[in-house]
A and B are shown apart, each in its own frame.
Chain A
Amino acid sequence: MTGAQSETVKQTLGDPRLQLAIYSATNRLMTHRAGAVQQDRLPDYQELRTHANLLKKHTIDHLDYYLEQFEKNVVAHGGKVVYCSDSQEVADFVLSLAKERGARLIVKSKSMTTEEIHFNERLEKHQLEAVETDLGEYILQLAEQRPYHIVAPALHLTRYDVAEIFSKKLGVEKEVVIEKQTMIARATLREKFLAADIGVTGANFLMADSGAVVVVENEGNARLSSSAPKIHIAVAGIEKLIPRAQDLGVFLNLLGRSATGQPLTVYTSFLSGPRRGGEVDGPDEFYVVLLDNGRTKLLADPEKRQSLYCIRCGACLNHCPVYRKIGGHNYPWIYSGPIGAIITPQFHGVLKDPWLPFASSLCGACAEVCPVKIEIPKLLLTLRQEVTAAKQRQGAGGMERMAFRIWAWLMTHPRIYLMVGKIGGPFVGLLPKVGPLGKWASQREVPKPAKTSFHAWWKQREASK
């Protein structure tokens, strides 16, 4: 964490209220998850993880096939599939559709994919109002902040923060009772649902064999967003595909449990095409925007491709001791925590935030809870190697590289290693690097090298035999 980054990290670490908010929220999510996957409640949890991993691997390895199948089936239901390579193309599509239909207001349900492409900001520039309808996202939209967490976007805000935000932005009395705050949001949002021209949702899964979009949620706002307005647009990354409807059970069993400890979320919507004759609700038009935005770059690498298996449950964030310290906003992109640390460098290039793959103690807690078994620590190590290699190509990072060369030389010359050890302790080879002893000492006492090394002790012992 360099420059300003490290200052904001220090601020986060030094804010006891924020630390408490992060800790209690992630603790709660961890406890609930642990309960929901324990042996007597989900006996085949580990088998499900393996199954989910294999299903994702198969789908990602044959993505071209499943994309075509999905598109064919969406069209058969009367919907349309729009392929977009980046955020500009998504904005262009939505803007031209809105213009043709005379649309002014968009209601949105929670979607990390639209966060990824700054959907709202792009549309606002063209006098299109996009309103977040997930409670957490709505609060953040009012507060003009980005999500703090993949699943719990306003995890860092207390009800007192929310009272401030509502009072300032909605002109209501300061209200600190959560149920009443919810009613305030509900009253505003109901109006928006009824008036909206277009509803935009994300997608949790796209079922290729049935051409259906699956959206899971707890508040019912995604269901309203996809059914109340005349037009429904689902924006999804291309990696959201699964082959068959019968595979869905594997993922639904894992997603809610891993995210919040729920066996199933409150709402699971299956959206396949516009309203047909005889149906009482549903939109007149149904679009699925399939977004690349860099995903095909990840497909090219057979090892790192597994990053696309992610089903965005957020369990790796909750279990990450680094995320639990620095929170979501100190990560450079909207995807934070361990999953953010592996996908951000792949989307943006390893040199944009070269510190990111190193901001981990490699404790492995993330991989242990990942429902689709992404090997996060292994990918972090691969990315670290890519960072050092890329720096070398640019002629940067020379000091550190030199330090490790000297260190490696020292470690392969035991006599000199022992001599140096006698003089200055074991890590002397690393000293010129970044003054690590100073950084160590900023937080804790420096260990004193032993008076006699084990090598010396052993030699003495052998000699006295």
Chain B
Amino acid sequence: MSVKARVSLFVTCIVDQVFPQVGIAMTQVLERLGYPVDFPPSQTCCGQPAFNSGYPEEARTVARHFLEAFRDAEYIVVPSGSCTSMITHHYADIFGKEPELAPRVWEFSRFLTDVAGVDDVGARFDGVVTYHDSCHALRELRIKDGPRRLLAKVQGLTLREMDPAEECCGFGGTFSVKFPEVSGGMARTKIDSILKSQAGTVVSIDSSCLMQLQGVIDRAKLPIRTMHLAEVLAAR
């Protein structure tokens, strides 16, 4: 077996501080596939909160820090479509050109399907699952089939589409606190779609969407679980 390239994790600020289990699951899946994994310790955030709030200077400062932290990485794997897209699509907007490392940045599910070339990671998860398309993954990174292919290969898992899977959960970063009623209303509409699918678990490749949905689920005490794709793929 050939030696695999080194993978550097960018776990994102939200996974680092609120959902570390997602980073741990991602590490497990990548190591099972034989990738040497490292974690550049000076990493923090990609800068998206400032960029989306109209503060390009502050976003640039944080983005520069990210670029410095991952300067020597071969593959940078991220458990978020939104943060990946910030780096691969929007750093060009704040720096005037695409940074040199952008092609080395991969959203987790796409790394599995397109770089590792696997659909079946040998996971087992018993239950009915529905997949929520997170907006930046879907519309900026064009990720739609990959996570579904990975889920379909999980033993014991039944994948059931909700209608519509593609509508926003209403998080939108600072939008969720600037317009809480609208954001909450959007989340409740999304939850209705999940409930109608009768899936017990909603899976996404973005923890921020799941944080938004979990908050509403907990408030309404609904029997739905939120899980990041990495957690499902790490399960055995």
Contacts and interface: CB of A to CB of B under 8 A. Distances in A.
B201 interface: no
Contacts of A400: 53
A444 B215 contact: yes
Interface in A413-460: 414, 417, 421, 425-426, 430, 434, 436-437, 439-440, 442-450, 452-455, 457-459
B147 interface: no
Interface in B9-34: 11, 13-21, 23-24
A440 B62 contact: no
Interface string B168-211: 10111111111111111111010000000000000000000001
Interface string B128-156: 00000001100110000000000000000
Nearest to B172: A361
B169 to A, nearest CB: 8
Which has the most chain A C-beta neighbours within 10 Å: B13, B44, B51? B44
A292 B225 CA distance: 54
B97 interface: no
A412 interface: yes
Given A426-B18, A440-B215, A454 B24 contact: yes
B88 interface: no
A404 B57 CA distance: 10
A359 interface: yes
A73 to B, nearest CB: 41
Contact of B172 (A9, A363, A442): A363
A22 to B, nearest CB: 11
Contact of A325 (B24, B39, B186, B219): B186
A381 B50 contact: no
B171 A361 contact: yes
B172 A408 contact: no
Interface residues of B, number: 67
A408 B17 contact: no
B63 to A, nearest CB: 10
A69 B173 CA distance: 48
B184 A407 contact: no
Contacts of A384: 52-54
A410 B50 CA distance: 13
A412 B61 contact: yes
A364 to B, nearest CB: 4
Given A13-B185, A425-B18, A443 B175 contact: no
B139 A364 contact: yes
Interface in B72-93: 93
Main secondary structure of the interface of A (DSSP, over half): helix
Contacts of B47: 408, 411
Contacts of B179: 1, 322, 358-359
B13 A411 contact: yes
B167 interface: yes
B45 interface: yes
B167 to A, nearest CB: 6
A365 interface: yes
A443 B54 contact: no
Nearest to B134: A363
Contact of A443 (B49, B62, B167, B219): B219
A326 B183 CA distance: 11
Interface string B210-231: 0110111011000000000000
A391 to B, nearest CB: 9
Interface string A138-151: 00000000000000
Contacts of B212: 444
Nearest to A359: B179
Given A407-B50, A408-B58, A358 B219 contact: no
B136 A364 contact: yes
Contacts of A444: 184, 187, 212, 215-216, 218-219
A457 B24 contact: yes
Contacts of A446: 215
Contacts of B185: 13, 325
Contacts of B216: 443-445
A362 B174 contact: no
B170 to A, nearest CB: 6
A87 interface: no
A368 interface: yes
A455 B56 CA distance: 27
A457 B20 contact: yes
B215 A10 contact: no
A322 B182 contact: yes
Nearest to A446: B215
20 contacts: A10-B181, A358-B178, A359-B175, A360-B175, A361-B135, A362-B136, A368-B139, A378-B93, A384-B53, A401-B55, A404-B55, A411-B13, A412-B64, A417-B44, A434-B177, A445-B216, A447-B215, A454-B16, A454-B20, A457-B20
Given A358-B179, A384-B54, 11 more contacts: A322-B186, A355-B178, A363-B139, A363-B167, A365-B139, A400-B53, A407-B50, A426-B18, A450-B17, A450-B18, A455-B41
| Among all A-B residue pairs, the 5 with the closest Cβ atoms | A361-B172, A444-B215, A443-B184, A384-B54, A426-B17
